[in-house]
Amino acid sequence: MDCTSLLLAIANDRDESAFKKLFYHFYDDLVHFSASITNDFNSSEDLVADLMLKVWTEPKDILSIKNIKTYLFKAIKNRSLNYLSRSKTHEYYLSHPHLNDVPSTPEDLLISKEFIKQFNQLVDKLPPKTKMAFILVKDNLCSYAEAAEIMEISTHTVDRHIQIALQRLKAELEKNNSLINSEL
* Res 140: pLDDT: 83
DSSP per residue, 53-108: HHHHH-HHHHTT-S-HHHHHHHHHHHHHHHHHHHHT-HHHHHHSPPP----SSHHH
Contact 81, 109 (CB under 8 A): no
Cβ neighbours for 169, distance < 8 A, ≥ 6 positions apart: 119, 122, 123, 126
How large is the average pLDDT for residues 60-70? 84
In tens, the pLDDT along 144-162 reads: 999 999 999 999 999 999 9
pTM greater than 0.85: no
User: Who has greater pLDDT, 73 or 95?
Assistant: 73
With H, G, I as helix, E, B as strand and everything else as coil, classify residue 14: coil
* Res 179: pLDDT: 55
Domains of the chain: 1-96 (1.10.1740.10), 101-184 (1.10.10.10)
* Res 94: pLDDT: 46
How large is the average pLDDT for residues 126-130? 92
How large is the average pLDDT for residues 151-174? 91
Contact 61, 51 (CB under 8 A): no
